[in-house]
Amino acid sequence: MLKRCLMIVIIFLLLFSVLSPNTLSNETSKNNNGFGFKEIFTAYPIIKFTYPRLEELATPNGEALQIPLATAFKLTGRYAKFIEQRSLLRNAIINIELKVENTPDWCYANISNSNVQLPLDHTEPFKSTLTVTVTENAPAFTQGVVKISATSKMQRGIIFNIAEQTAEFDVSFIIGYWSAVSFKPKGNIAEIGPYDTADFQIDIENLGNGPTYVEIEPMDYPKEEWDVNIASSVVLSSAVDGGEGVTKSVYLKIKPSVGSDWNNKRQTFRVKFTPCYLGRPNLLGKEEIITFIVQKIGSLKDEESDNNFLIILVTAVVLVIIMSIFLKRRYLN
């Protein structure tokens, strides 16, 4: 008897809620307030979506960035608590689909374990993983954003319903520096005389995703025998930005020292190029070493003998010309 009375009271309360002025409002009230007859027995899940603060960077041509995702929800509405605790839907499993909606042009992203399944009384979030890879066009130390949608599936009961809901979230990350520099010498072998200079042009191009500083250092060579001159550094613009400054040329000039008198001397020179992100010398790229060979032909003594002979020859020619003019004038007189 007590159970029947309790059921009658519950039915009476439900009818009172349905037939109250708020719920008997016309279609205009539903359109204005977003609430109508059917909605009174419907609960709405608020989807919660979180991910940790990231220490890792997404670097072009590096390992993919793995971002852990956590999805949960909370029911809202007039009968949310009743649905969770006493309705026939209290044991329902809520299905939420995670989907990548938008990424930058230089980014690829996908979600593993994207079909979320959570009971109404869940205490722990559902775990998924967002995998992000970026191309060489991703500018270093800028922020990338992946937009993700989460859509819950509708759950229908005899009286109560759990509505379908969609929410969107942004997952942000930072792009790492990818160093890629091309070095192209225009020749690396030269033959010179004792007073000549070997001149090598080296074209340097930045293929990476950030502005790059390149340190240039001639390596061990006999400084008492050779004079070597080259710029100590060069700054290159980012290949992502394009424009001027992505490619620059430096010149390596090599000549024998004044005191050097080695005949037919062959010497190998090595120049080291060390790239790094501009302003961050700890972010180093791949070091490059280029070898050059210079062959010196002849000696200073040979040059001096040749010069002396040339001077004597020119002097003799001048004397002959002067004597010829003198004798010709004397003959005419």
More confident residue, 146 or 82: 146
Apex CA 265: angle with CA 263 and CA 271, to 5°?
150
The tokens for 85 are 């605790």
On whether both 131 and 199 belong to a single domain, the answer is no
On whether the CB atoms of residues 162 and 46 are closer than 8 A, the answer is: no
Q: How far is CA 224 from CA 178, 256, 257, 329, in A?
A: 40, 9, 7, 57
275-298 pLDDT, tens digit per residue, is 999 999 999 999 999 999 999 886
Question: For residue 74, is it within any domain?
Answer: yes
Residues 61 and 112 in one domain: yes
Residues 99 and 125 in one domain: yes
Alpha-carbon distance of 215 to 172, in angstroms, equals 34
- Could you tell me the CATH number of the domain that includes residue 114? 2.60.40
Is residue 104 pLDDT above 70, yes or no? yes
CATH classification of the domain holding 196: 2.60.40.10
Q: How large is the average pLDDT for residues 21-38?
A: 39
237 Cβ partners below 8 Å, 6+ apart? 206, 211, 243, 244, 245, 246
Same domain for 196 and 149: no
Give tens-digit pLDDT for 231-243.
999 999 998 987 7
Residues 106 and 89 in one domain: yes
Asked if pLDDT for residue 13 goes beyond 50, the answer is no
Let me know: does 236 contact 212? Beta carbons within 8 Å: yes
Q: Facing residues of 277 across strands?
A: 212, 280
Is residue 312 in some structural domain?
Answer: no
8 in any annotated domain: no
Average pLDDT, the chain: 82
Give CA–CA dist 94/166, Å, rounded.
13
Q: What percent of the chain lies above the pLDDT cut of 70?
A: 77
Residue 191 has pLDDT above 60, yes or no: yes
d(CA 173, CA 145): 7
**Residues 163 and 203 placed together within one structural domain of the fold:** no
The verdict on pTM exceeding 0.75 is no
Residue 308 in any domain: the answer is no
Shared domain for 117 and 202, answered yes or no, is no
Domain contains 310? no
Q: Which tokens go with 202?
A: 């080296």
**Cα–Cα distance, 297 to 6 (Å, whole number):** 115
Q: Which residues lie across from 184 on neighbouring strands? A: 203
**Same domain? 207 vs 107:** no
Using the Cα atoms of residue 272, residue 273, residue 278 and residue 280 in order, give the sign of their dihedral. Answer: negative
- 46/68 Cα distance (integer angstroms): 20
Residues 222, 287: Cα–Cα separation, whole Å: 23
Mean pLDDT of 177-186: 96
Share of the chain above pLDDT 90, in %: 54
pLDDT number for residue 310: 66
Do 279 and 215 belong to one domain?
Answer: yes
- How many domains in the chain? 2
CB 231 within 8 A of CB 271: no
| Boundaries of domain holding 152 | 22-27+35-174
Please give the C-alpha separations between residue 91 and each of 77, 88, 121, 243, in angstroms, as whole numbers: 18, 7, 8, 62
- Give the model's pLDDT for residue 28: 33
Instruction: Report residue 119 as tokens.
Output: 């009971």
Residue 322 lies in a domain: no
Domain-located, residue 161 = yes
- Shared domain for 102 and 199, answered yes or no, is no
Can you spell out the DSSP letters for 30-62?
HHHHS--TGGGGEEEEEEEEE-PPP-S-B-TTS
